[in-house]
A and B are shown apart, each in its own frame.
Chain A
């Protein structure tokens, strides 16, 4: 099983600042990596797939990078609606696994 590790667990950021979230895989997942956003009481929403491709309707301030075992989600200028929990997920093989999440909170 591929273990996905996200850091930090919590990120305190002021509105308008940049946020950088990390996701590490225990073995290479190539570019088979997705990012999701989840707000309290809501289902997850797909942000990024294939490590760097934005999903439909996702603002350009969200960007993904990386390949192999190291990945980054960057939010260039945090808006109020971006404060949420973010998860990465690999889809290289079975079982699919998610990272433990990074909570982005208001500083």
Chain B
């Protein structure tokens, strides 16, 4: 089955760090660009970061310098290292697969909740 499964979400204090993971299965992970998209409670979708199949990265201004996206193609896993977390980072974080060539998303995970609060 083609799927993405996120994990690692938790309650963390402001200024803290967290690493999210996204396990991919059912497709050749190493061939595809990937991304993280988040959704604050009751709000819309916000693109966070992207990584190409060969490791090139890009970030939203709101997370630039605080978040790092990476991938381990040998483990079919996407990561998001989050540091200096703020209350406004509270959201469900989705990983999403790019079908190829253009940066829209044809497969989404179910998401993992990150709550930043003291």
- The segment from A42-50, A63-71, A72-80 found at the interface with B is A42-50
Residues of chain A lying within 8 A (CB to CB) of residue B60: 95
Please tell me if the beta carbons of A91 and B110 are within 8 angstroms of each other in the complex.
Answer: no
Looking at chain A's contact residues, is the secondary structure mostly helix, strand, loop, or mixed? Answer: loop
Cross-chain contact A34 with B44 (CB below 8 angstroms): no
Chain A nearest CB, measured from B107 CB (Å): 8
Classify chain B's interface size.
20 to 34
- The contact size tier of chain A is 20 to 34
Number of A-B pairs, beta carbon distance below 8 Å? 56
Binds A, one of B8-16, B82-90, B97-105: B97-105
Q: Which of A32, A44, A45, A95 contacts B45 (CB 8 A)?
A: A44
Complex: A50 Cα to B94 Cα, angstroms: 22
| B-chain residues with CB within 8 Å of residue A100 when the two chains form the complex | 44
Q: List 9 A-B contacts (CB under 8 A).
A: A43-B110, A44-B94, A44-B108, A46-B106, A91-B104, A95-B47, A96-B103, A97-B47, A98-B47
